[in-house]
Structure 1
Amino acid sequence: MERLSRAAIFAIVGVILFIIVIIKSSVVVEAGQAGVLFRPFSDGIDTENTYGEGFHIIAPWNDMIIYPVRQLSISDKMRVLSVNGLEVSVDGTVWYQPEYDKLPFLHKEKGRNYESEILAPAISAAARSVVGRYTPEQLYSSKRDVIQAEILDEVRKELKTQYVQVNRVLVEDVTLPTKIKEAIERKLRQEQESLEYEFRLAKATKEAERQKIDAEGKAVANKILSASLTDKILTEKGIEATLRLAESPNSKVVVVGSGDSGLPIILGNQ
């Protein structure tokens, strides 16, 4: 009976150990993640393989380090200097993700804190380099898309050999000192008013030119018409007009002599 009890105890212990080994040996990599295998009794990090999503069995003494490999983002507010030495504040967001096939090297050389170790400093350096090329006016108005593209290029250069892929840089806001911002807005308003005045002036000038051309055209036409009208033509036109008036059913015509031009004089017209 005692032997049976000992056997039962050993069996139970064995089952428990087996369960522990199974639990320790099984690893589930969730969606959007990847694993790096660490072998403490062998060659350390397995740099040949990146372990994808799913269920994996590993030796109990090994360790699987899990990393998110889907697109991530990091936002920061940086104080940087413009080309003329004025301090501006830039709010930006960078979208990035680890290079999947290079994940073991990222863990081996940079570690879990690679965002703060290499990504954030690269973003800061790129922002300072790019913003330092522009004046506050350019930063405030028309250069944001260009700045975003240039910061992206700079960050990619910095991280080219760091096993991190940068997908996009978004500059959300550029904050200038209050006095500088007010001066820029005042200048922009003045420029807009100047452009509006120039537009109205150009429009008025074109209208004056149009009226001048129209008047000159009418004057030429009248001159040609006056030169073409003779006394005979005028008399003929007068006779035609008199006949049309006389034929009107609403008229009563009484001809008394003739006028100075030889045309009849019509009286009693109703």
Structure 2
Amino acid sequence: MNRFHFFSHKFGLLAVLVLGLIAGTGCYTNIRPGEAGLRYHPLTSGLQRDLLTNALYFYAPWNDIILYPTQWTSYKEKVDVLTRDDLTINVVAAVILRPVPSEIYNLQIEIGPDYYEKVVRPQFRTSVRNALSAYSMIRISKETPKVSSDIRLALGDKLRGKHIEIDDVIIDDIEYSRPILTAIEGKLTKEQEQEQMKFEINIAKKDAEITVIHAEAKAKSTAIEAEGNAQAIVIEAQAKAKAQKLIAAQLTKQYLQLKAFENPNTKLLLVPTGKDALPMIFNMPDSGRIPTAPVDASPQP
């Protein structure tokens, strides 16, 4: 029994010594969240397929653990681009990507941990140049989301089967040369002047339309007033004509004689006529006397 305890004690000390030696030589790896690793045993089984995740792993000094980041990582590139209108600009673009976690073993076998420098970077820069060469300089700044989508699609096609997945591509900045900036400022100034001119023309058109509307309304009002006056004159004339017609219908000979007798200013009331229809002449006596006999103006036999 004592011998068993002795050997157990010695074995425990040996294990502690081995662990101490391993820890002293740095033969352990702490894999944190957002990382994954592969065991590599060069003297025995080589690269292991099993994916190591969040834990502390010890291994012999002649073995190793290869780490890969599994978090999304952003990489930026500054690329000189020749646009469709033959202008050179510098574009700062960023790509967000990571290894496919379930394909890290294949990525290690085919490319390795420096996959961005070996594969992604040259393909990314080429995709940026090819995509932006289809756009004019002005359209690049106006259609940034469309340009970013084109780059992402092109890069995705080039990285298909490379065990890498892309989250997004972003146009971070566009740098123009001084001559280009001067030309852009001049164009913007002209556009602003044209917009101001259009605005002033629209204001003048509105004023003219208002003036025409007022003139038409005034002319219409005048025409309505003139038509009303004309209708009033016609109605008045018709009323007068009707009245005159009624009066004329009532003006008989007896009525006129009656009115003549009733008029106090009338001095000659009646002119009698003789047999020959000639007026009868009376010798008017002196004032206040009535003639006794008429003077016969007919010729004597």
TM range (shorter): 0.7 to 0.9
Other-structure match for 2:139? 138
Summarize the Cα distance change of 1:56–1:11 in structure 2 as closer, same or farther, 3 Å threshold: closer
Of structures 1 and 2, the larger Rg is shown by 2
Q: CA RMSD in A?
A: 3.1
Give the alignment of 1:70-85 within 5 angstroms: 70-85=71-86
Other-structure match for 2:4? none
CA distance in 2 between partners of 1:91 and 1:190 (Å): 29
Contact 2:83 2:132 in 1 (8 A): yes
Deviation readout 1:156-207 (Å, 9 max, x if unpaired): 1111211111111111211122112211221122122212211321232133
Q: Give the drift of 1:116.
A: 0.7
CA distance in 2 between partners of 1:118 and 1:112 (Å): 11
Give the alignment of 1:38-187 within 5 angstroms: 38-47=40-49, 49-56=50-57, 62-139=63-140, 141-187=141-187
Deviation readout 1:210-232 (Å, 9 max, x if unpaired): 3202220221123212322447x
More displaced stretch, 57-66 vs 177-186: 57-66
CA distance in 1 between partners of 2:173 and 2:112 (Å): 32
CA distance in 1 between partners of 2:53 and 2:200 (Å): 67
For normalisation by structure 2, the TM-score amounts to 0.65
Contact 2:22 2:58 in 1 (8 A): no
CA distance in 1 between partners of 2:161 and 2:214 (Å): 73
Other structure's SS at 1:83 match: coil
* Unaligned runs of at least 5 residues, structure 2: 1-6, 236-301
* Unaligned runs of at least 5 residues, structure 1: 1-6, 234-270
Contact 1:136 1:176 in 2 (8 A): no
Other-structure match for 1:258? none
Other-structure match for 1:253? none
Summarize the Cα distance change of 1:12–1:57 in structure 2 as closer, same or farther, 3 Å threshold: closer
Residue type matched to 2:142 in 1? Answer: S
| Corresponding position: 1:190 with 2:190 | yes
CA distance in 2 between partners of 1:11 and 1:20 (Å): 14
Contact 2:38 2:65 in 1 (8 A): yes
Other-structure match for 1:242? none
Residue type matched to 2:38 in 1? Answer: V
CA distance in 2 between partners of 1:171 and 1:186 (Å): 25
CA distance in 2 between partners of 1:184 and 1:25 (Å): 61
Summarize the Cα distance change of 1:11–1:99 in structure 2 as closer, same or farther, 3 Å threshold: closer
Residue type matched to 1:172 in 2? Answer: D
Other structure's SS at 2:66 match: strand
Q: Give the drift of 1:87.
A: 2.1
For normalisation by structure 1, the TM-score amounts to 0.72
Residue type matched to 1:35 in 2? Answer: G
Work out which structure has the larger RCO, using CA pairs closer than 8 Å and 6 or more positions apart in sequence.
Answer: 1
CA distance in 1 between partners of 2:135 and 2:73 (Å): 29
Q: Give the drift of 1:59.
A: 7.2
Q: How many corresponding residue pairs?
A: 226
Summarize the Cα distance change of 1:128–1:160 in structure 2 as closer, same or farther, 3 Å threshold: same
| Corresponding position: 1:199 with 2:231 | no
